[in-house]
């Protein structure tokens, strides 16, 4: 290879170009991306294409099987299951994305502070260990029982429960991100460019924003993808236990909870929301695996 071709190769190579090249070689990640994007597009524009009101009840059509009029059947009140699955997907994915952002901000903030400032490392890591030792599901149930009625009165039944569920999922799922970020920050602190920045008196805030944060994006992005799946599963579990959104406000977990009482009469009542949850979580996990490999410089060959 000539010197000019080497120079052209260096010129046109970039970090995100290498990441995308490696990501494309991960077949599971590409399939997961297609499936997840399909689910997002489906729940985003599906209710406009299938404009049946998910709350419209027709007792004459209750517990029907799949048909041209109702492709996924109906529930015990005659409500269209396809419309409910599409509407429930909006809520479940919105909860997953919002709770993931909250947990990611908390975990990154605590991890960076603990890893960079030695005096705060011990207290913050003991706080992290305390949250890891808590039985999360019973804690979530207690918090919901204590604050559900108050938030319903302040913000309404749907918005109040949405804010409560997002908050409790976010504040109970940041610990893994914090530990991963802290480990990376501790390793970065010993690198030459960080030592050089500190030696010339660069403020800590500038070192963190200019040198630390860009180099810990890889674990943060992987944690973000896995956090979406965790939040969706947690919301579905809470709704399945009857402690999530109201019965007339569909989510995938709530549809599962309502369908279990009619599983022998209409098995499709639990198949479709369960399949939606499984496909979403699996696709997000595959995307996370692909990002982890693509963002690893050793695997990319850099």
**191 domain residue, yes or no:** yes
Name the pTM for this structure: 0.80
On the CB side of 264, CA atoms within 13 Å amount to 1
- Look up the domain containing 239 and give its range: 90-285
In a domain, 253, yes or no: yes
Give a yes or no: residue 20 inside a domain.
no
Mean pLDDT, residues 34-46: 90
pLDDT tens digits for 95-127? 888 988 999 999 999 999 998 888 888 899 999
Residue 72 lies in a domain: no
What's the structural domain count of the chain?
A: 1
CB 81 within 8 A of CB 70: yes
Q: Name the average pLDDT for the chain.
A: 81
* Residue 106 in domain: yes
Assigned domain for 50 exists: no
75 domain-assigned: no
Q: Summarize pLDDT for 172-200 with one digit per residue, the tens.
A: 888 888 998 998 888 888 888 888 888 88
CATH of the domain at 250: 1.10.3720.10
Q: Is residue 294 part of a domain?
A: no
Contact 128, 228 (CB under 8 A): no
Nearest to 238 by CA among 169, 157, 146, 159: 169
CA separation for the pair 217, 121 (Å, rounded): 21
């Amino acid at each position: 290879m000539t010197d000019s071709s080497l120079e052209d190769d260096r010129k046109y190579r970039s970090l995100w170009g290498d990441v995308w090249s490696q990501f494309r070689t991960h077949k599971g990640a590409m399939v997961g991306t297609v499936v997840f994007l399909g689910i997002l597009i489906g729940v985003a524009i599906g209710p406009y294409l299938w404009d049946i009101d998910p709350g419209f009840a027709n007792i004459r059509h209750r517990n029907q099987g799949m048909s041209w009029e109702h492709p996924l059947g109906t529930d015990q009140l005659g409500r269209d299951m396809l419309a409910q699955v599409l509407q429930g997907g909006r809520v479940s994915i919105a909860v997953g994305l919002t709770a993931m952002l909250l947990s990611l901000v908390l975990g990154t903030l605590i991890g960076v502070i603990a890893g960079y400032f030695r005096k705060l490392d011990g207290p913050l890591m003991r706080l992290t260990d305390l949250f890891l030792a808590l039985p999360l599901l019973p804690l979530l149930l207690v918090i919901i029982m204590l604050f559900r009625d108050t938030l319903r009165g302040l913000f309404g039944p749907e918005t109040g429960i949405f804010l409560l569920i997002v908050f409790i999922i976010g504040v109970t799922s940041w610990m893994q991100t914090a530990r991963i970020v802290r480990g990376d920050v501790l390793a970065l602190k010993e690198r030459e460019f960080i030592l050089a920045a500190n030696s010339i008196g660069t403020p800590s805030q500038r070192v963190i924003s200019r040198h630390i944060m860009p180099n810990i994006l890889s674990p943060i992005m992987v944690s973000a993808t896995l956090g979406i799946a965790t939040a969706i599963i947690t919301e579905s579990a809470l709704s399945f236990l009857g402690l999530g959104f109201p019965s007339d406000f569909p989510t995938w977990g709530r549809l599962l909870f309502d369908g279990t009482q009619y599983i022998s009469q209409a098995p499709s009542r639990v198949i479709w929301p369960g399949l939606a949850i499984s496909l979403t979580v699996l696709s997000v996990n595959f995307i996370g695996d692909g990002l982890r490999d693509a963002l690893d410089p050793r695997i990319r060959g850099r």
